[in-house]
Amino acid sequence: MITPNRLTLFRIALAISCPILLIRFRTPTADIGVILLFILACLTDWWDGHLARQKALVTSIGKILDPIADKLLILGLLVSFVQLGLYSVEWILTILIREVVVTIVRLVKLGKRMVISAEWAGKLKVGFQIGSISATLLYLSFMDSGFFSNSSKFIAMFQALHYLGIILANVFTIGSGISFFKHLDEHA
């Protein structure tokens, strides 16, 4: 039986596989594989939430594992982009710090038997992070394939989307961090 928690564990496996594939195998085929695995991971994120709500299968462990799976997927690829020279470390530092601090706070609260679910600002932030990663994966894929090497306008468009994506991801990451800490006392 497919359960939300099993889907989340599958997403964690995908989150680990994407950076390994992206870093270890630098080919256009590997790029396409990472894009497909990333899409599958994003779909399982939607699917596990849908199943949990629809069938009343929301669990405390699921409330913790789901955001951790998201963080592994997002941070793993962002760090991979730094390693590949697509981002400078400063571009992902805000995202990295916010995700680590919020996760630590969630785990501390969990130790006090308080589960903090994701709020709308955090979900919006994840959406912009997914958009940013998608734009960068497409940009990388087009650059690696050489297919559009004669079309500098096309490459420039995806490069601009790649830069715009990380800027927006940072803006929404900061906003969701502020919202998280602003509403933290409501969970006490």
Q: What percent of the chain has pLDDT over 90?
A: 40
At 6-16, the pLDDT tens digits run: 889 999 999 99
Q: Which CATH number fits domain 4-181: 1.10.287, 1.25.40, 1.20.120, 2.40.128?
A: 1.20.120
The string of pLDDT tens digits covering residues 153-187 is 777 887 888 889 899 999 999 999 999 998 887 75
pTM for the whole thing? Answer: 0.86
Tokens of 33: 């594989």
The reported pLDDT for the residue numbered 64 is: 77
Buried b (16+ CB within 10 A) or exposed e, 127-136: ebbbbbbbbb
Residues of the chain whose pLDDT is less than 70? 117-118, 147-151, 187-188
pLDDT of residue 23: 93
Q: Single out the residue of 127, 70, 119 nearest to residue 99, CA to CA.
A: 70
**What is the structure's pLDDT at 188?**
54
The string of DSSP codes covering 108-122 is HHHHTT------HHH
Query: Domain-by-domain residue ranges, the chain?
Result: 4-181
